[in-house]
Amino acid sequence: MSEIKEITQKEAAFSFGKKERKLLTDPLNDNNPITVQVLGICSALAVTTLLDKALVMSIAVVFVCAFSNLIISVLRNSIPKSVRMIVQLVAIAFLVTVVELILKAINYPIYVELSVFIGLIITNCIIMGRLEAFAMANGPWKSFLDGVGNGIGYGIILIIVAAIRELFGKGTLLGYTILGDWYTPNGLMVLFPSAMFVIGILIWIHRSWNRNLIDVS
């Protein structure tokens, strides 16, 4: 009976029901890190000039957020409360180092452009927030899904902003000409202030579409 109970508990731990699906889908809409929580804005301003940089940054954040959640959740009962922030930073720093080494080996030009911003993932408030608010209180599987969901939610906004800025700022996407010779690139779109305007418009569109996000107080 004890063996059956243990197997059932393991199956439940890795189930993919309604609650687990919500961990993935909620950050895409109702609890998006950028358009709802308004977190991670600094990196959204810095790495969205080109779509390829935004794609790389998005993949890096999904990886770090998911696996740091997993690591901290596994260790949560062994971490003294007095040093939990230090342990969280060490876990994130380890994963960021892995990302930097892989990126350096695979695509050195992108690594050179993003090296500073990849390093700043260590202090990304989205990742630190999920570790403190979710991974420290939930099991490894749910924490992993929460990390994946929040990373994707963050990445989607990054990709949209970068696509808009590159398209109208350079007339290209991923380096390929889209708008043709007839279009005169708008230099304002490649400057940092344009990212703030684009993100503000996305927040407005999102809250207009999802009326539940409107603060009626």
Q: What is the 3-state secondary structure (H, E, C) of the chain?
A: CHHHHHHHHHHHHCCCCHHHHHHHHHHHCCCCCCCCCCCCHHHHHHCCCCHHHHHHHHHHHHHHHHHHHHHHHHHCCCCCHHHHHHHHHHHHHHHHHHHHHHHHHHCHHHHHHHHHHHHHHHHCHHHHHHHHHHHCCCCHHHHHHHHHHHHHHHHHHHHHHHHHHHHHHHCEECCEECCCCCCCCCHHHHCHHHHHHHHHHHHHHHHHHCHHHCCCC
Band of the pLDDT at 69, cuts 50, 70, 90? very high
Domain assignment present for 153: yes
Domain assignment present for 17: no
Domain assignment present for 201: no
Domain assignment present for 160: yes
| Direct distance between the N- and C-terminal alpha carbons of the chain, in angstroms, rounded to an integer | 53
Letter for the amino acid at 13? A
Band of the pLDDT at 115, cuts 50, 70, 90? confident
pLDDT digits over 132-178, tens only? 889 999 999 999 999 999 999 999 999 999 999 999 988 899 888 88
Band of the pLDDT at 214, cuts 50, 70, 90? confident
Domain count, the chain: 1
Assess whether pLDDT exceeds 70 at residue 101. Answer: yes
pLDDT digits over 188-212, tens only? 888 888 888 999 999 999 888 887 7
Domain region containing 45: 37-165
Domain assignment present for 196: no
Domain assignment present for 24: no
Mean pLDDT computed over 117-142: 87
28 CB burial (10 A radius; 0-12, 13-18, 19+):
middle
Asked if 139 and 53 count as a contact pair (C-beta separation under 8 A), the reply is: no
Contacts of residue 15, Cβ cutoff 8 Å, sequence gap at least 6: none
Assess whether pLDDT exceeds 70 at residue 9. Answer: no
Domain assignment present for 56: yes
Query: How are beta strands 172-173 and 176-177 bridged, if at all?
Result: antiparallel
Determine if the pTM surpasses 0.85: yes
Please state, rounded to an integer, the average pLDDT across all residues of the chain.
Answer: 85
pLDDT at res. 177: 87
pLDDT at res. 179: 84
pLDDT at res. 144: 95
